[in-house]
Structure 1
Amino acid sequence: MKEQSSRKGFAKFTTLDIVLMAMLAAANAVMTVYLSQVNQALNGLGGPIATSTITGLYMIYGLLAYYIIRKPGTALITYGIGAVVQSFMGSAYGILSCFAAAACYLIIAEAVFAAFRYKNWSLPVMMFTGGAMVPVWFFFAAQMFGYTKWGTGVLLVALCVRIMSGILLCGLLTKLLGDALSRSGLLRRFAVSRAVES
């Protein structure tokens, strides 16, 4: 029974769902190339605090896919595809970081939406999710990239700035983009449109 239920759950993803997830993941991989350059410029201007301001943009593609599709496993697939595409395109942070970051993001996103039983897609929930995805990856990134050399004070400020970036540039922006695209009619075959229309 459990095996049949699991298969049925994955069967709920349509071809359009998969295409959308792949498109968002690919778009993110391209955007990340340019974000890396912005990140380097910000680092030169304001160090780790300045670079922390754009953290939310790295995560938005998976959350946006979840907001539009609203099916369990969306983050798993979208962030997974994103990690693979980024690794093929090359990453300034290394291939391992692509998969580690994706794993951290998808675990939190899946857990949050499961906790809300995939029924609450309000602005507070989206903003909470965007902020909640930050700390786990920040912990691992600190070990991988030597953030611990910054000192406790800088680490705490950087973490707070990254959480705010996740809340605004991932959570809030996801909600705004998702609703705007839905109203345009482009997403009429997805769950988000049915919710906005009602």
Structure 2
Amino acid sequence: MNHSSGNGVFKAFTTIEIVLMAMLAAANGVMTTFLSPLNQALNGLGGPIATSTITGLYMIYGLLAYYIIRKPGTAVITYGIGAVVQSFMGSAYGIASCFVAAACYMVIAELVFAAFRYKKWNLPVLMLAGGAMVPIWFFFAARMFGYMAWGTDVLFIALGVRILSGIVMCGMLAKLLGDVLNRSGLLRRFAVSSGRRANQ
């Protein structure tokens, strides 16, 4: 696609932006494959609370794409592609979970950046997005995977740990990775390189 000739924040995605979203989604599919054994190991060490510490890593690819591209709809496309990739690669949690999780992530991410009118891309906003994406998926996951059997105390502690993981391992890490890639010169053709619609 070429850039839209219209004004405002709603512009078409370029081919290179779509390629980047697809690459990040594919990388997430590979990373998820390696995270599954780690998740199982953490579960053996500390149960659901321990496994909750890496929750943010499962969401980072879509938020990183949004930070780099800075266009409405980025989360929808990136998380959508990610769900398809994971379903083809196989998921230890089932195909349905791939699409439900992606839907939860994309809706919240789009709402957060829309709330700031696509003008703020600083660390607090990314941390907010990373933490905010957790609860709605946790609500569905609790019913899909039987989390309700954990008991109320464990359930709330696990949710708190997951939100913290979303803030740090999704929000903060996405900002860090985006800035590192930007300084390397690899993102010269993306909005992040010129700080478009950004308050750094």
Please tell me the TM-score bracket, short chain as reference. over 0.9
Distance in structure 1 (CA, Å) of the matches to 2:112 and 2:81: 20
Write the deviation string for residues 118-160 of structure 1: whole angstroms up to 9, x where unpaired: 0000100000110000000000000000000000000000000
Structure 1 match to 2:187: 187
Secondary structure of the structure 2 residue equivalent to 1:110? helix
Structure whose residues are more often helix by fraction: 1
- How far 1:11 moved relative to its partner? 5.6
Structure 1 position 99 matched with structure 2 position 109? no
User: What is the TM-score with the length of structure 1 in the denominator?
Assistant: 0.94
Decide whether aligned partners of structure 1 residues 119 and 183 sit closer, same or farther in structure 2, where only a CA change above 3 A counts.
same
Secondary structure of the structure 1 residue equivalent to 2:92? coil
- How far 1:164 moved relative to its partner? 0.3
Structure 1 position 171 matched with structure 2 position 171? yes
List runs of 5+ in structure 2 lacking aligned partners.
Answer: none
List runs of 5+ in structure 1 lacking aligned partners.
Answer: none
Amino acid at match of 1:150: W
Secondary structure of the structure 1 residue equivalent to 2:121? coil
Distance in structure 1 (CA, Å) of the matches to 2:141 and 2:38: 19
- How far 1:9 moved relative to its partner? 7.6
Partners of 2:63 and 2:170 within 8 A in 1: yes
Partners of 2:109 and 2:129 within 8 A in 1: yes
Distance in structure 1 (CA, Å) of the matches to 2:10 and 2:78: 14
Secondary structure of the structure 1 residue equivalent to 2:59? helix
Structure 1 match to 2:117: 117
Structure 2 match to 1:76: 76
Structure 1 position 21 matched with structure 2 position 21? yes
Distance in structure 2 (CA, Å) of the matches to 1:115 and 1:84: 28
Equivalent residues in 2 for 1:22-37, closer than 5 Å? 22-37=22-37
Structure 2 match to 1:153: 153
Distance in structure 2 (CA, Å) of the matches to 1:10 and 1:66: 14
Distance in structure 1 (CA, Å) of the matches to 2:46 and 2:180: 33
Distance in structure 1 (CA, Å) of the matches to 2:28 and 2:10: 24
Equivalent residues in 2 for 1:116-135, closer than 5 Å? 116-135=116-135
User: What is the TM-score with the length of structure 2 in the denominator?
Assistant: 0.93
Distance in structure 1 (CA, Å) of the matches to 2:22 and 2:90: 17
What is the Cα-based RMSD across aligned positions, in Å?
1.9
- How far 1:113 moved relative to its partner? 0.3
Structure 1 position 67 matched with structure 2 position 52? no
